[in-house]
Amino acid sequence: MDTELLLICALTVVINLIGALAYAARIAGVRTGRIALSFALFNILLLVSRTSNGFLGPFLAKRIETALASGGAEALLWDLRLVLFSAAAAVALGIVLVPTGQRLFAAAITFFQARRSTTRLILASMTPAGLATLRDSIAIPSGETLRSLSKPRGVSWTVLAANAAAQGLLAVGVLASLYAGFLVPEFRVTASQMTAIVNGFATILLFALIDPQISALTDDVVDGSVSEATFRRAMIWVSLSRLVGTLMAQALLVPAAVVIAWTAGWL
The confidence score (pLDDT) of residue 89 equals 95
Q: Is the pLDDT of residue 86 over 90?
A: yes
C-alpha to C-alpha distance for 161 and 35, rounded to whole angstroms: 26
What's the pLDDT tens digit per position in 26-62?
Answer: 888 888 877 777 777 777 777 777 677 767 778 888 8
pLDDT > 90 in the chain, percent:
12
pLDDT value at 219 more than 90 = no
pLDDT tens digits, residue range 167-179?
898 888 888 888 8
Burial 32-65 (b: 16+ CB within 10 A, else e): bebbebbeebbeebbeebeebeeebeeebeebbe
Burial of 174 (0-12, 13-18, 19+ CB in 10 A): buried
Q: Check pLDDT > 70 for residue 25.
A: yes
Does the pLDDT of residue 117 top 90, yes or no? no
pLDDT of residue 61: 83
Check whether 149 has a pLDDT greater than 80.
no
Whether the pLDDT of residue 82 is over 90: the answer is: yes
Q: What is the mean pLDDT of the chain?
A: 83
Q: Which long-range contacts (CB under 8 A, 24 or more apart) does 210-217 make?
A: 210/159, 210/162, 210/163, 210/166, 210/238, 213/155, 213/156, 213/159, 214/26, 214/155, 214/238, 217/154, 217/155
